[in-house]
Amino acid sequence: DGGITQSPKYLFRKEGQNVTLSCEQNLNHDAMYWYRQDPGQGLRLIYYSQIVNDFQKGDIAEGYSVSREKKESFPLTVTSAQKNPTAFYLCASTRGGQGRNSPLHFGNGTRLTVT
Query: What single letter denotes the amino acid at residue 66?
Result: V
- Site membership for other proteins, residue 2 (CB under 8 A): no
Site for other proteins, residues 31 to 90, rule: CB under 8 A: 31, 40-43, 45, 48, 50-51, 56, 90
Q: Quote the least distance from Cβ 57 to other proteins, whole Å.
A: 11
Rank residues 19 and 89 by Cβ distance to other proteins and give the closer one.
89
Q: What does each C-alpha distance from 88 to 10, 106, 114 come to in angstroms?
A: 9, 13, 12
Give CA–CA dist 60/105, Å, rounded: 21
For binding to other proteins (CB under 8 A), which residues are involved? 4, 6, 30-31, 40-43, 45, 48, 50-51, 56, 90, 92, 94, 96-109
